[in-house]
Amino acid sequence: MTKKRKGFYEGMYILSAALSDDSRKKALEKITDGIAQKSVQELWKEYHLHEDLIRFITMRVEKVPETLEFQPLKIQG
């Protein structure tokens, strides 16, 4: 019997700007590998120990949209 999912999760991550391209790629791989293998609670605990991860947010959503569309920014002047 398959397990029914109760929801999907969307996440946003801010990595340290001081990282080189190679280091940034490795940090992102560490995050994406963890997403595929661990629960959300395990990830949150690990994120607090990840020195290159400055901020993160994870939200539960009912449906994951195919595309994200934002309103254009207004130029003040």
**DSSP secondary structure letters along 26-74:** HHHHHHHHHHHHS-HHHHHHHHTT-TTEEEEEEEEESS--S----PPPP
Q: pLDDT tens digits for 7-65? A: 678 888 999 999 999 999 999 998 888 888 888 889 888 888 888 999 988 888 887 77
Residues 27/33/8/63 CA torsion (nearest 10 deg): 70
Indicate if the pLDDT at residue 1 is higher than 70.
no
Task: Give yes or no for a contact between 28 and 15, defined as CB atoms under 8 angstroms apart.
Answer: yes
Whether this model's pTM surpasses 0.75: no
DSSP, collapsed to helix, strand or coil, labels residue 76 as: coil
Question: Can you tell me which residue has the tokens 């595309």?
Answer: 67
